[in-house]
């Protein structure tokens, strides 16, 4: 079978970019008789040596990772060039690892599009505050759903939200998963940890809670700061600090950095304990997770929650919202709270700090839970769904 894959979001630093890189890398390593054609709009040298992969680079006025963002959109001529490239290639099916970079393909080619979540439909104003951007996103997604034979998503919770907020029938949705990269393993190397903390502008010896991800409104970081401030003011968490790790600018998506920074600067206690570390490398991320008291995932909703599983693989338990996919992913490795209740966030932080027995149990659970997820398993499930699409 000749499988076409849109890989234009390979270079994206957000979750769906990482999903694309990890899933496709695992997919190409599976034993199969299939050949994969990757359609890209930037040079992709990493995969050119693989016998089962052909990289098709398409000329584009702007890469998708620059154009398909919250305050912009891809041009019709660029998408038409992608369409023509697919039409010239002898494909049996077409796969999109993210609806974010979807473009129309010829009708005779069955396609599967990955919809990671329905957050933009559930909380539209938190994702696209401008009505025009919201309209373009809605039209693109509706067209993608209409033209696709199957929908892939990454959790049962995401499937339920897609059904509820996008109106897709459950029988048309397949579920795979995501996973931590095998590199995410707890390190005890004090030199690596010290260097990572220094680069992230964090104190060398203080207990830290880390948040990793976009600084977008739906991530509920204002709620996290309010809960953390209450916990700090209670006197029950000692000298715990909070690290917010992620691209300040949002990678082209809506960012709350300005208002978050203003909140921190206005509160002397937060100003002393909260650190905006910016984007960090995976090596530093592993070191920071490994030395963290916990990872925080306060989101109003998540399709999967990749930072949570990566933190868990490094033995960090999770201070987790009880919404979306997070209970499904985190399982018995976290303490849960209502993300709309800052007192509940505060109490979860206090409980995580005060009970060393609880923390040790959750940390052990985190490592065990993370081992249940692998990219090989996700790739096998995805390939099975693609084969069923072709066979159907």
pLDDT tens, 293-314? 999 999 999 999 999 999 999 9
Provide the total of helices (H) and of strands (E) in the chain, helices listed first.
Answer: 17, 13
Task: Locate 89 and state its tokens.
Answer: 């290639």
**Angstrom distance (rounded) from CA 338 to CA 340:** 5
Q: Please answer whether residues 48 and 30 qualify as being in contact, where contact means their C-beta atoms are separated by less than 8 angstroms.
A: no
Among 130-144, 228-242, 249-263, the least confident range: 249-263
CA within 13 Å, CB half, 124:
12
The whole-angstrom separation of Cα 239 and Cα 202 is: 13
Q: Are 203 and 112 in contact (CB under 8 A)?
A: no
Report DSSP state, residue 199. H
Q: Which helix (H) or strand (E) holds 18?
A: helix 15-29
At 251, the pLDDT band (50, 70, 90 cuts) reads low
pLDDT digits (tens, 9 = 90+) for 351-360: 999 999 999 9
> What DSSP assignment string belongs to 238-294?
TT-EEEEES-TTGGGS---HHHHHHHHHH-HHHHHHEEEEE---HHHHHHHHHT-SE
- Using a cut of 0.85, tell me whether the model's pTM lies above it: yes
Q: What is the chain's alpha carbon radius of gyration, rounded to the nearest angstrom?
A: 21
**pLDDT average, residue stretch 80-100:** 96
Exposure string over 58-69, b if 16+ CB within 10 A, otherwise e: bebeebbbebbb
Nearest to 114 by CA among 150, 139, 160: 150
Q: How far is Cα of residue 157 from the mean position of the Cα atoms in its chain?
A: 15
Q: 183 is written with which tokens?
A: 């590199």
Among 147, 146, 153, which residue's Cα sits nearest to residue 115?
Answer: 153
Residue 242 has pLDDT above 90, yes or no: yes
Q: Are 36 and 126 in contact (CB under 8 A)?
A: no
The rounded distance, in Å, linking the Cα atoms of 325 and 160 is 10
Q: pLDDT tens digits, residue range 200-229?
A: 999 999 999 999 999 999 999 999 999 999
pLDDT at residue 263, as a whole number: 97
- pLDDT confidence of 13, banded at 50, 70, 90? confident
The band of 176, judged by pLDDT with boundaries at 50, 70 and 90, is very high
Q: Which helix (H) or strand (E) holds 335?
A: strand 334-337
Q: What is the pLDDT of residue 141?
A: 94
Q: Name the pLDDT band for 253 (thresholds 50, 70, 90).
A: low
Mean pLDDT check: name the lowest of 52-56, 71-75, 94-98, 286-290: 71-75
The band of 247, judged by pLDDT with boundaries at 50, 70 and 90, is confident
- pLDDT for position 207: 97
Instruction: State pLDDT tens for residues 269-280.
Output: 999 999 999 999
Strand ranges of the sheet holding 35-40, from the earlier edge strand across to the other edge: 53-57, 35-40, 2-6, 93-96, 111-114, 150-153, 173-175
């Amino acid at each position: 079978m000749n499988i076409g894959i849109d890989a234009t979001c390979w270079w994206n630093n957000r979750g769906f970019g990482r999903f694309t890189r990890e899933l496709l890398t695992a997919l190409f390593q599976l034993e199969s008789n299939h050949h994969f054609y990757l359609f890209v709009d930037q040079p992709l040298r990493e995969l050119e040596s693989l016998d089962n992969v052909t990289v098709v680079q398409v000329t584009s006025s702007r890469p998708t990772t620059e154009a398909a963002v919250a305050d912009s959109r891809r041009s019709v001529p660029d998408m038409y060039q992608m369409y023509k490239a697919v039409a010239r290639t002898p494909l049996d099916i077409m796969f999109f690892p993210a609806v974010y970079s979807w473009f129309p393909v010829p009708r005779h080619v069955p396609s599967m599009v990955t919809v990671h979540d329905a957050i933009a439909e559930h909380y539209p104003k938190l994702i696209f505050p401008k009505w025009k951007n919201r309209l373009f996103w809605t039209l693109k997604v509706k067209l993608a759903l209409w033209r696709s034979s199957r929908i892939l998503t990454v959790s049962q919770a995401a499937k339920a939200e897609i059904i509820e907020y996008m109106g897709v029938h459950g029988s048309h949705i397949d579920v795979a998963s995501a996973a931590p990269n095998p590199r995410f393993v707890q390190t005890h190397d004090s030199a690596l940890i010290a260097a990572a903390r220094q680069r992230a502008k964090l104190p060398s010896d203080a207990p830290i809670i880390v948040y990793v991800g976009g600084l977008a409104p739906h991530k509920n970081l204002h709620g996290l700061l309010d809960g953390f401030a209450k916990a700090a003011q209670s006197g029950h968490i000692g000298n715990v600090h909070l690290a917010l790790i992620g691209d300040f600018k949002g990678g082209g998506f809506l960012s709350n950095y300005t208002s978050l920074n203003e909140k921190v600067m206005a509160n002397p206690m937060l100003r002393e304990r909260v650190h905006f570390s910016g984007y960090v490398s995976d090596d530093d991320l592993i070191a920071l997770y490994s030395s963290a008291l916990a990872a925080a995932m306060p989101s109003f909703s998540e399709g999967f929650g990749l930072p949570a599983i990566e933190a868990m693989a490094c033995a960090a338990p999770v201070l987790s919202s009880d919404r979306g996919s997070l209970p499904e992913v985190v399982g018995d490795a976290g303490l849960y709270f209502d993300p709309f209740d800052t007192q509940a966030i505060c109490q979860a932080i206090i409980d995580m700090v005060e009970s060393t027995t609880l923390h040790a149990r959750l940390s052990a659970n985190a490592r065990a839970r993370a081992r249940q997820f692998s990219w090989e398993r996700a790739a096998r499930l995805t390939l099975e769904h693609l084969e069923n699409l072709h066979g159907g």
